[in-house]
C-alpha cells in the first residue's frame, strides 16, 4: 500500500526534508504561488495539502522507489521520535509534555493516514 500524505504539518515536512527551515518555507511558498499546495490550517502549526488529488498522485508517482523508501523511513523516524518523547514525559510525570507529545504523535499518525492510531493518541490530549 503506498504511503501518501493527504495533509502534512510543517514539523513533519521539516523532519523529512533535506532542507533548511528557510529553504523549506521558500519551497512551500513557491508551491503555493503555483497553486499546487495550500495551507489548510495555521494553528497550532502550519499544515499543507495538495490543491488537487491528481497533483498529489503525480508527485508521489514521480518519486523513484529508493527515494520513497528514504522518505518513508524519515516519516517513521518522526513517529518514533514523538513516541520516545511521550515515553519520557510519562516516566517523568510531566503532564504538559505528555499532552504535547500525545498531540504530536497523533498528528504524525494523522498525516500518515492512520486514523485509528491518530484517534488513540488524540483521545489522550
Query: Could you read off the pLDDT of 73-82 as tens digits, one per residue?
Result: 787 787 777 7
pLDDT at 103: 78
pLDDT in tens, 30-60: 999 999 888 887 766 778 888 888 888 888 8
Q: Are strands 7-9 and 37-41 parallel, antiparallel or unpaired?
A: unpaired
More confident residue, 51 or 112: 51
Specify which residues 33 forms β-bridges with.
none
| CA-closest candidate to residue 7, choices 42, 80, 19 | 42
User: Domains, the chain, ranges and CATH?
Assistant: 7-122 (1.10.10)
Spatial distance between the Cα atoms of 109 and 124, rounded to a whole number of angstroms: 14
What is the grid cell recorded at 97?
509534555
Across the chain, mean pLDDT equals: 79
Share of the chain above pLDDT 70, in %: 82
Is 4's pLDDT higher than 60? no
| CA-closest candidate to residue 46, choices 9, 4, 18 | 9
Amino acid at each position: 500500500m503506498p504511503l501518501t500524505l493527504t495533509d502534512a504539518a510543517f514539523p513533519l515536512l521539516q523532519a523529512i526534508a533535506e532542507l533548511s527551515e528557510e529553504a523549506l518555507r521558500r519551497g512551500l511558498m513557491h508551491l503555493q504561488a503555483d497553486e499546487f499546495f495550500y495551507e489548510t490550517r495555521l494553528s497550532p502549526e502550519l499544515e499543507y495539502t495538495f490543491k488537487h488529488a491528481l497533483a498529489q498522485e503525480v508527485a508521489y508517482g514521480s518519486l523513484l522507489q529508493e527515494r520513497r523508501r528514504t522518505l518513508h523511513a524519515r516519516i517513521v523516524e518522526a513517529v518514533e521520535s514523538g513516541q520516545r518523547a511521550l515515553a519520557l514525559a510519562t516516566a517523568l510525570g510531566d503532564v504538559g509534555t505528555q499532552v504535547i507529545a500525545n498531540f504530536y504523535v497523533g498528528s504524525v499518525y494523522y498525516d500518515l493516514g492512520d486514523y485509528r492510531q491518530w484517534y488513540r493518541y488524540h483521545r489522550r490530549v
